A = this chain, B = another copy of it.
């Protein structure tokens, strides 16, 4: 569990590299700054209140709070916690490493045009309140976990919905309210590709994220049961590989081009897709879920473009669309498959979607009407690094003007 916590922590590097790699050089410092802020403030917010909002103990199933800070008495840290499977501190830290992920997903989608201040305010609220409340509905023993009675209900092994789509819904609302980057859509709304400035860094990011998923899914077994943990790692890796191959195959057929970023996003799609049911699937089912995730990536990216939404890193496609797909896949494949389960899964997707969209809408709309959320035209053209940070990400290199 503690090793898994370290791996999940390292995923934040993966997100950071992926985001800067797929965007332009002139906004690199800004993106790194946001990511570092999210990691640090996310952990502190989770410490201050998030953990006890997500795991409130006995509660009404919708909202509960067990108080600020952490227990520090002997009982709290005793080996008897969680039947000895892991300790109270491990539980906090492992969950705390997840917490910031939802905000990171949003941060990637709004890159290159959002003001830093409102982005930080959004992060604090979304990580501190929205994410743990949704989490409490299922992992805290809330209403989603008992939709079908005591022994049945919504199922989300490691967070296709509770982590990835929570971030994805926020990202969707944010890019809609924020608008596209200057130059993204030409006359008649024709989308232009804005190439990322460092594809090796983006590739590194995806490989680090895959590595982190060993911890994310492996640790979510919440015990050291070797048989189940190793099955989960196997399904996770097979789905990732199949996701990449699926996206590669579909995009090569569709566009007659070997597109590396599609391949990379396919891997991430496969990982998000298997996350809800990684412990329920056979290897064949994992491969199937991965292949479909890969195909969804190619279609989803085209769809987002068609909707005139500008998502520089593909966050909505990867985390929201594949998150929904993975959640529903629990009702279609694997040991829980069935009509009832599919309904529970739909209910979970819907409940998270409505709450997250309303929350994000409220927060971001308020910010937009008060302090504003978008940098001005000159700053966007010249880069946020120069205007917000007065720094250059690669001081010794000449850049092309974009």
Contacts and interface: CB of A to CB of B under 8 A. Distances in A.
Given A17-B200, A199-B393, A391-B199, A237 B207 contact: no
Interface stretch (A158-166, A281-289, A300-308, A313-321): A281-289
A388 interface: yes
Interface residues of A, number: 99
Given A10-B207, A44-B287, A245-B44, A86 B226 contact: yes
Nearest to A263: B36
Nearest to A384: B258
A70 interface: yes
Contacts of A340: none
A327 interface: no
A77 B2 CA distance: 24
Contacts of A33: 258, 260, 263
A74 to B, nearest CB: 10
A298 interface: no
Given A36-B264, A240-B40, A233 B195 contact: no
A257 B386 CA distance: 11
Copies of this protein in the assembly total 3
Nearest to A213: B6
B203 A200 contact: no
A59 interface: no
B398 A398 contact: yes
A44 B283 CA distance: 10
A229 to B, nearest CB: 6
Contacts of A92: 234
Contact of A47 (B238, B240, B396): B238
A90 B241 contact: no
A33 B247 CA distance: 13
Interface in A233-292: 233-234, 237-238, 240-242, 244-245, 248, 257-261, 263-264, 267, 282-284, 287
Given A29-B260, A198-B393, 17 more contacts: A2-B218, A9-B214, A17-B204, A32-B199, A36-B263, A44-B241, A69-B283, A78-B227, A86-B226, A87-B230, A88-B230, A89-B227, A90-B233, A92-B234, A195-B391, A197-B395, A397-B399
